[in-house]
């Protein structure tokens, strides 16, 4: 069965960076894009960007341009999301999600369990 397993919770100081992993299993890793979203406490969902695990091409939300880096490691079926220059506003649950496609329609059919990143001095 398809699974996305994310790394554990992180506590970081302002100004630091965090790197969250998302390891996929149960499908051909290189065939499907992975997206990253985040959700601040009590807030809605925010799309951060997308990576094509085959080749590593990325598209980032403008809000995170220059601060986010998404990479993939096909040998371990793992994608990474690194966010730098953290502030308290980056405290959130971070999710990876697999993109599914039916015809020309795309959607998130599988999600990771989430990784809580807390930024605090």
Partner 1 sequence: AIQMTQSPSSLSASVGDRVTITCRASQGIRNDLGWYQQKPGKAPKLLIYGASSLQGGVPSRFSGSGSGTDFTLTISSLQPEDFATYYCLQDYNYPWTFGQGTKVEI
Q: Quick one: residue 24, left, alpha or beta (phi over 0 = left, psi -120 to 50 = alpha)?
A: beta
**84-114: burial string, b at 16+ Cβ within 10 Å, e else:** eebeeebbbbbbbbbeeeeeeeeeeebebeb
Under the binding rule (CB under 8 A), the answer on residue 27 touching partner 1 is: no
Q: Is the CB of 29 or the CB of 95 nearer to partner 1?
A: 95
CB of 101 to partner 1, least distance (A): 10
CB of 38 to partner 1, least distance (A): 11
The residues pairing with 75 across neighbouring beta strands, listed in sequence order, are none
Stretch that binds partner 1, among 10-18, 19-27, 69-77, 106-114 (CB under 8 A): 106-114
Under the binding rule (CB under 8 A), the answer on residue 35 touching partner 1 is: yes
- Residues near partner 1 (CB under 8 A) are 35, 44-47, 50, 59, 61-62, 95, 97, 100, 102-103, 105-109, 111-114
């Amino acid at each position: 069965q398809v699974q996305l397993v994310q790394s554990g919770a992180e506590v970081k100081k302002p100004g630091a960076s965090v790197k969250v992993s998302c390891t996929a299993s149960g499908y051909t890793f290189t065939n499907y894009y992975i997206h990253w979203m985040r959700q601040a406490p009590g807030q809605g969902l925010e799309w951060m960007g997308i990576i094509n695990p085959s080749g590593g091409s990325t598209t980032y939300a403008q809000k995170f341009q220059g601060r986010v880096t998404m990479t993939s490691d096909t040998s371990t079926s793992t994608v990474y999301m690194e966010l730098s220059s953290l502030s308290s506003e980056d405290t959130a649950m971070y999710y990876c999600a697999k993109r599914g496609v039916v015809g020309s329609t795309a959607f998130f059919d599988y999600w990771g369990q989430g990784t809580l990143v807390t930024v605090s001095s």
